[in-house]
Amino acid sequence: MVYELMKGLSITLSHFFKKPVTLQYPDVKMKMYPRVRGLHELHRYENGLERCVCCGLCAAVCPADAIYMEAAENTETERYSVGERYAKRYEIDMLRCIFCGYCEEACPEDAIFLGHNFELSDYSRDSFIYSKEQLLTPVGTTHTPGIVRGR
């Protein structure tokens, strides 16, 4: 019993004299690993059309039921995506999301990715429901599939 106590205290004392690993967070941010799953991103093609054709696979595969989408038909005068349909309404409830990445894997159009933005704090529950406008990336932003997607 004394041996275990001395062993535990020796571990504590060995860490007591080491330099602490403290970052001044807002000014200095820790380098994130490439496999970090953060806020979702909806991507576009180079011509500005949305990749999402509102097939519903991401919402169907989501184990937390965090994705809601509403489809609408594209017309010749108003075209939002390359397919027949587009996501008129696309919402992700980040309070329900478990960041599993299944939506990313299920998407046949490579429209949704889990980005690297992990600073998702806010003061109201309503602000954690992200709309399509908040999730869409600017035109010309591309995502190279990494280790997470396995492609």
Asked, for residue 78, whether it belongs to a domain, the answer is yes
Q: Looking at residue 146, what is its pLDDT?
A: 45
Strand arrangement, sheet containing 67-73: 67-73, 85-93, 129-130
CATH number of the domain enclosing 60: 3.30.70.3270
Q: How many domains does the chain have?
A: 1
Start-to-end C-alpha separation, the chain? 54
Asked, for residue 124, whether it belongs to a domain, the answer is yes
Full residue range of the structural domain in which residue 70 is found: 31-135
Written as tens digits, the pLDDT of the chain (151 aa) is 889 999 989 998 888 888 888 889 889 888 888 888 999 999 999 888 999 999 999 999 999 999 999 999 999 899 999 989 999 999 999 999 999 999 999 999 999 999 988 888 899 999 999 999 999 987 766 655 443 433 3
Asked, for residue 112, whether it belongs to a domain, the answer is yes
Q: 11 is written with which tokens?
A: 């571990």
